[in-house]
Structure 1
Amino acid sequence: MSPSTTRALLACGAVAPLASLLTFHLDMVFRTGYDPLRHAPSLMMTGERGWMQIANFVVTGALMIACAVGVRRALPAGRASRWGPPLVAIYGTAMIATGVFVTDPQMGYPPGTPPGLLPGVNAGSSWHGNLHWVAVFVMYAAATLACFAFARRFAAEPGGRVWAALLVGTGVLTPVIMYGGSLVLQPLSLSGEWYAALDGIASRLIIPLGWIWAALVSYRLLRTRAAAEVNA
């Protein structure tokens, strides 16, 4: 595989998450009946233009799998070389699964849907809705582990401590917000607007945390690889 191909694969990971976030937030603004302080991000896979978010997840996941190949090529040895690429690949595969297994309408969205049916594995969910949330948890678990794996490598590189600190912060905040929001805030959100607002804020934070780390890792690897080629 040529150096230019490796760079192109890494670029998939640098560009895809940011493009995905842009698509998600632009679509959210024009969704009829979608309340970002009450409705989970995955609910945008249902209702009008649901196909857009399904495609968003699937395409971004596929590009992250391509990025994993580039990471493998860019890190033949050393820290994160063993676990980094598989974790990126698992992350991408799980993201594809979140798009393939569409979540159930719930919490009043799309318009006309009764309130209730909390996100998560429960007796009222469809089989694909259950698999969707399993895939989400796997995706964020892989992201968390990948953050720590790459942070350990970057911390040992010249000029890499800031990058490592950003990844460690993401790796700590992601499970706290993800699991805290799912297990605590979402059930409470049915009891009042105050809890619903907290749940909505958590939902708005978890998407950038779950995406931006991948762009940071890919961009850092592109920079260090370019510097190595110049000095070679």
Structure 2
Amino acid sequence: MRWLVAGGVAAAVQMIAFVTVAGHTRPGYDPNRNWISQLSLGPGGLLNDLNLALCGVWLVLCAIGLRRVTAARLILLCGVCLMALAVLRTDPGIGYPPGVTPVRTFVGTAHQLVSVVLGVAGTAAAALLGQAIGRRRTGLVVAAVMAVSFVAGSVLVLLDAGGVLPGAPSGLLERVALFAGFGWIGLVSATLATGPDRSPEGAATAAPATSSDLGSEFPAAS
């Protein structure tokens, strides 16, 4: 089942690459200000919907492959959230799409709620994933970076939308949180997919033989 774990690597590479390219080539879109979900609006929006949905599928496959890892259910939840965000598009606002009046809809509100769940689940997953490869502290650091960036970005986007701080770099902070989370998932997934089996079964198989084991195989000479 190790090939399923590689889904985490695929999700990380795809999300980071797509968001970076689309964010810098979409007319009227400011990657420092606008959020990733807003790439689903305007021309080419369908491509971001497909990106979110496919990355969600990759994470679900990764979670299945990591079923013995503590963070597996959280990664599964992240995958489901991404697929939901592909269907529940965000509302226009903070300058994108250009010339479109900001609106507030039920679907957009549902999108924001799912985004919060994704942020919390992703941060918790990052904190727990370090245990799977013996890097618990690194996982906690990544989780801290994600939490601070996500909360700060959320505050800035509210100030931007309210006209208090126009052009605030909330999109940049969202990218820091998202890229840190996906990058960490990708790194842990690659380590588990290519390294020795770290599951309880694998550890038991790889455990060195004890003196009692050797004695049972080679009886003492009389």
TM-score where L is the length of structure 2: 0.81
1:23-62 → structure 2 map (5 Å cutoff): 23-62=18-57
Aligned residues: 200
Q: Any idea what the Cα deviations from partners look like across 1:130-165, whole Å, max 9, x if unmatched?
A: 11111111112111111222223433xxxxx3xx33
Name the aligned partner's letter for residue 29 of structure 2.
Y
Q: Which amino acid aligns with 1:219?
A: A
Partners of 1:107 and 1:113 within 8 A in 2: no
The corresponding residue for 1:128 is 107
**Distance apart, 1:226 and its partner CA:** 6.0
Q: 2:96 matched to 1:101?
A: no
CA distance in 2, matches of 1:192, 1:128: 26
Letter in 2 for 1:181: G
Distance in 1, matches of 2:121 and 2:46, equals 25
User: Cα distance 1:18–1:47, how it changes in 2: closer, same or farther (>3 A)?
Assistant: same
- Contact 1:37/1:200 (CA < 8 Å) preserved in 2? yes
Name the structure 2 match of 1:144. Answer: 123
Letter in 2 for 1:166: T
The C-alpha deviation readout for 1:115-134, integer Å capped at 9, x for no partner, is xx5xxxxxx52121111111
| Preserved CA contact (<8 Å) 2:36 2:171 | no
Q: Name the counterpart of 1:172.
A: 144
Question: Which deviations, in whole Å up to 9, do the C-alpha atoms of 1:5-37 show, x marking residues without a partner?
Answer: x12101111122212210111112211111122
TM-score (norm 1): 0.78
Gaps spanning 5+ residues in structure 2: where? 207-222
**CA root-mean-square deviation:** 2.2
Letter paired with 2:146:
T
Name the structure 2 match of 1:13. Answer: 8
Q: Is the 8 A contact 1:69 1:85 kept in 2?
A: yes
Q: Is the CA contact 2:157–2:168 (under 8 Å) kept in the aligned structure 1?
A: no
**Correspondence for 1:219:** 190
8 Å CA contact 1:104–1:125 kept in 2: the answer is yes
CA separation of 1:208/1:109 partners in 2, compared to 1, >3 Å: closer, same or farther? same
> Where in structure 1 are there 5+ consecutive unaligned residues?
1-5, 76-80, 118-123, 156-160
Indicate the SS of the match to 1:225.
coil
Does the aligned pair in 2 maintain the 1:98–1:132 contact within 8 Å?
yes
Runs of 4+ in 1 over 4 A off after TM superposition: 226-229
* Structure possessing the higher radius of gyration over alpha carbons: 2
Q: What amino acid is the match of 1:168?
A: L
DSSP-derived class of the 1:202 partner: helix
User: How far is the alpha carbon of 1:63 from its aligned partner?
Assistant: 1.2
